[in-house]
Amino acid sequence: MFDLQKMFASLLEMGGSDIHLKVGIKPIFRINGELVDWGDEPIGMDEMNNIADGLMGKKEKETFIEQKEADFGFGVKGVGRFRVNIYKQRGTIAIAIRAIPFDIMGIDELHLPDVLKKICSAPRGLIIVTGTVGSGKSTTIAAMLEYINQTRRTNIITIEDPIEFLFRDKKSIIHQREVGSDTDSYNGSLRYLLRQDPDIIMIGEIRDPESMYTAIRAANTGHLVFTTLHTTDALQTINRILSFFPGDLQNEVRNLLSVTLRAIISQRLIPTRDGKGRVPATEILVNNETVKEAIIDPSKSHDIKMSIEKGETIYGMHSFDQSIFRLYDKGLISYEDALKGASTPTDFERRLKGLDSSDSNNFELGDYRTS
């Protein structure tokens, strides 16, 4: 009998983030971004069917039969909480499992920039956390919401599919709604969201124009809205938002976004120097007059990158390469991984070696420090 509890416990003991189960091979763990085998035997088809059957409840089984995939979260007593996606591949069941820590790590613990605390203090606006799959977007949003939970008296409502991190009410009250069990759909819950007296709204992921428009509208009516997008940087995020809408609505959306956007936090994970974990490198865009004009006028979009690189002292903005430089300077990451993570490795290497000291774009630590 396949021992699921032992597998989950082993993943957490090894500091892993994900499990991949597929018929014909051993379970695969993702540890610090790398895939490693676990266990002694490959998984058979009957065994995989039993594993899937044991993980799914009645509702998940109905969803899986209808859609050939199911996404849900669950907890294992004394072990941890997990997010599960069960799907079909080549006619057989496959499973992807993500470990969700019980304890929500803080902004400082995650080595996220201090400017996030200032962003969290905003009374209203749209905050978007972006990155590729597995880049830690949910972890960053959880850290920011927990910071608010500890420091502000607010009513927070989340809409998640599924619920990942579990919050405990502190200064704030937090209502966590899961699609499928607490509401039928994202769009259904979003229609009634503003009637539930929220101060802060967290939408787990923007998936369609209606969700995007609701998030912008909520931010425009005095709420602080958090959400995520699968984009790699600020400029791509703005373009992605605009791509949700047809041409005749573009100007309206540009104007709304220029007013409501508070910040875009993009991130990628880089292995730590000691090989025991990963640390986020970030690009931070904070909306200011230059950024507003660049959002409204597409011919000025190139000004966004310049604002990010030059807006550190006043706004706390910085580019990926500036963030990676600091991580390397603090000894958190190796020279090799710094180069791999850099957006422009050649320029980055030249600057690290001090061969471009006359360049006005050289990295400057200024007043900003990562925690």
Domains of the chain: which residue ranges?
4-100, 115-352
Sign, CA torsion 219/189/99/41: negative
| Tokens at 185, concatenated | 């759909």
Q: Round to whole Å and give the CA distance between 200 and 172.
A: 10
Strand order in the sheet with 16-22: 34-37, 28-31, 16-22, 92-100, 80-89, 69-76
Give me Rg for the CA atoms of the chain.
22
Q: Round to whole Å and give the CA distance between 76 and 86.
A: 17
Q: Determine contact, residues 226/260, Cβ cutoff 8 Å.
A: no
| Tokens at 150, concatenated | 């500890």
Strands (E), 59-154: 69-76, 80-89, 92-100, 125-130
Q: Low-confidence residues of the chain, pLDDT below 50?
A: 355-371
Q: Determine contact, residues 74/85, Cβ cutoff 8 Å.
A: no
Long-range contact pairs involving 171-178 (C-beta distance under 8 Å, separation at least 24): 172/148, 172/200, 174/145, 174/149, 178/73
3-state secondary structure 26-54: CCEEEECCEEEECCCCCECHHHHHHHHHH
Residue 107, SS3?
A: coil
27: burial class by Cβ within 10 Å (0-12, 13-18, 19+)?
A: buried
Fold type of domain 4-100: Beta-Lactamase (3.30.450)
Q: With a threshold of 0.75, does the pTM exceed it?
A: yes
Phi then psi for 4, rounded to 5 degrees?
Answer: -65, -40
Q: Round to whole Å and give the CA distance between 204 and 226.
A: 8
Identical fold between 4-100 and 115-352: no
Residue 178, SS3?
A: strand
Cβ neighbours of 223 (radius 10 Å): 21
CA–CA–CA angle 70, 73, 76 (5° rounding): 130
Can you give the length of the chain in residues?
Answer: 371
Strands 16-22 and 28-31, how do they pair? antiparallel
Q: What is the mean pLDDT of the chain?
A: 90
Q: Round to whole Å and give the CA distance between 302 and 82.
A: 41
Q: 115-352 architecture in CATH?
A: 3-Layer(aba) Sandwich (3.40)
How many CA atoms lie less than 13 Å away from 145 in the CB half-sphere? 31
